[in-house]
Amino acid sequence: MWYNMGKTKGWDVVLEPEPTPENLAKLFYIYAYSRGKFVLSSGKVSSYYLNGKQVILSARGLYTSARLLLERISARSPDAVGGLSFGAAPLAAAVSAFSCCSPYQAPVSSFIVRKEPKQHGTRSRIEGPFYRGIRTVIVDDVLTTGASALSAAQAVEEAGGKVEQIYVLADRLEGGKEAVEKQGYRLESIITRRDLEHFDQLLRQKYPVFTTLLELRPVDWARLAEGCREVSGYHPRLGSVLEQKIARLKSELGPLSGFSPGLRSYLLRPVKIAEFSVDLEPACDQACRALSVDFSDGEDS
């Protein structure tokens, strides 16, 4: 395993859990997946939302994402990896950095594609080491319609580059892959919506009372204590901390017509962590710590 480099000068490198598609799916389910009613950037209304930035801007999520992408990109041996700003920016930069440590891939540079040309200097849409004839791989976090991936790929080709492949972390399975491939590009995803629905089904089967009460309208604060006891049956300390948090929220918020998607995700996330954490730290410790952070109305789940 090439990433276990032991001690290097000035650094103590700690062996991380193996980056696998299953672990990436768990990270997306815990931190990026929310149920509710959402309007997507495409204008479509969806019953769930995937905020990939919650994964790729976290240490564990970016590490896992970049490693999995690099393993796939190595087969293409591109000169550079990049994509549309800003979802692709951390992914491309991390893949580029990790390529310096990989025995399977020569170092690759990274670039980003602006949504609009900058209005000064070169007025270019592409930032980073880029030249005509460069062989590239396009990356992105979430695929819905395919518009972002296509925009990046077309900008690369207009600037004289070649697109070898497009990789996305999560495919919502809403026609994006077909739209991209219709334009002649090859696209591969690491996980799909079905992987996340699988974990959601497992959680709902194990905690039917708690998960149902979080979606009940209006909010039944009294019955939520019953849901916390359901959690306590598997994770006693977490159930106790969760019950205390809900009592505090009841005091602060009073009667509610229903939980907002953000608040619902805030209360459900610790249970997700307890069940599906990929960290080396004890899952219950992580879950309780998640509840130690106060909920904010502006929280984007």
pLDDT, one tens digit per residue, over 173-203 is 999 999 999 999 999 999 999 999 999 999 9
260 and 153 co-located in one domain? no
122 and 52 co-located in one domain? yes
Beta bridge partners of 33: 50
Q: How confident is the model at residue 111 (pLDDT cuts 50, 70, 90)?
A: very high
From 128, 176, 172, 126, select the one nearest 148 (Cα to Cα): 176
- How far is 24 from 26, CA to CA, in rounded Å? 5
- How far is 260 from 214, CA to CA, in rounded Å? 10
Q: How confident is the model at residue 301 (pLDDT cuts 50, 70, 90)?
A: very low
Q: Which two tokens stand for residue 45?
A: 């209304």
User: What pLDDT sits at residue 119?
Assistant: 60
Q: Choose one of 192, 219, 236: the last residue of a domain.
A: 192
Alpha helices in 163-235 (DSSP H): 176-182, 193-206, 208-214, 221-232
180 and 53 co-located in one domain? yes
Instruction: Read off the pLDDT of each residue in 100-121 and give the average, rounded to a whole number.
Output: 80
Contacts of 75 by beta carbon, 8 Å cutoff, 6+ apart? none
Q: How many structural domains are present in the chain?
A: 2
In tens, the pLDDT along 6-56 reads 444 554 555 567 899 999 999 999 999 998 777 776 677 777 889 999 999
170 and 247 co-located in one domain? no
44 and 150 co-located in one domain? yes
Lowest mean per-residue pLDDT among 1-10, 101-110, 199-208: 1-10
User: What pLDDT sits at residue 4?
Assistant: 46
Residue 229 located in a structural domain: yes
DSSP 15: P
224 and 165 co-located in one domain? no
136 and 238 co-located in one domain? no
User: What pLDDT sits at residue 165?
Assistant: 96
Structural domain boundaries enclosing 284: 207-292
pLDDT value at 167 more than 80: yes
Number of helices and strands in the chain (H, E) = 12, 10
Q: Is 11 exposed, middle or buried (0-12, 13-18, 19+ CB in 10 A)?
A: exposed
- How far is 172 from 280, CA to CA, in rounded Å? 29
Q: Choose one of 163, 192, 221: the last residue of a domain.
A: 192
Q: For the chain, list the strands marked E by DSSP.
A: 7-8, 11-12, 33-39, 45-50, 80-84, 109-113, 126-127, 135-143, 162-171, 187-192
167 and 109 co-located in one domain? yes
Instruction: Read off the pLDDT of each residue in 131-160 and give the average, rounded to a whole number.
Output: 96
245 and 137 co-located in one domain? no
φ, ψ (nearest 5 deg) of residue 138: -95, 135
Q: How confident is the model at residue 118 (pLDDT cuts 50, 70, 90)?
A: low
- How far is 33 from 27, CA to CA, in rounded Å? 9
Residue 298 located in a structural domain: no
Q: Which two tokens stand for residue 297?
A: 């109305």
Residue 197 located in a structural domain: no
Q: Which CATH number characterizes residue 76's domain?
A: 3.40.50.2020
54 and 188 co-located in one domain? yes
Contact call for residues 52 and 144 (beta carbons, < 8 A):
no
Q: Choose one of 159, 192, 225: the last residue of a domain.
A: 192
Say what the pTM is. 0.91
pLDDT value at 298 more than 80: no
Residue 92 located in a structural domain: yes
How much of the chain exceeds pLDDT 90, in percent? 73
In tens, the pLDDT along 232-273 reads 999 999 999 999 999 999 999 999 999 998 999 999 999 999
Strands 135-143 and 80-84: parallel
Q: Answer positive or negative: Cα dihedral of 230, 301, 15, 199.
A: positive
Contact call for residues 149 and 8 (beta carbons, < 8 A):
no
32 and 181 co-located in one domain? yes
Helix axis angle, 261-276 relative to 283-292, nearest 10°? 160
Residue 126 located in a structural domain: yes
Residue 1 located in a structural domain: no
85 and 183 co-located in one domain? yes
User: What pLDDT sits at residue 130?
Assistant: 94
Residue 5 located in a structural domain: no
DSSP 118: -
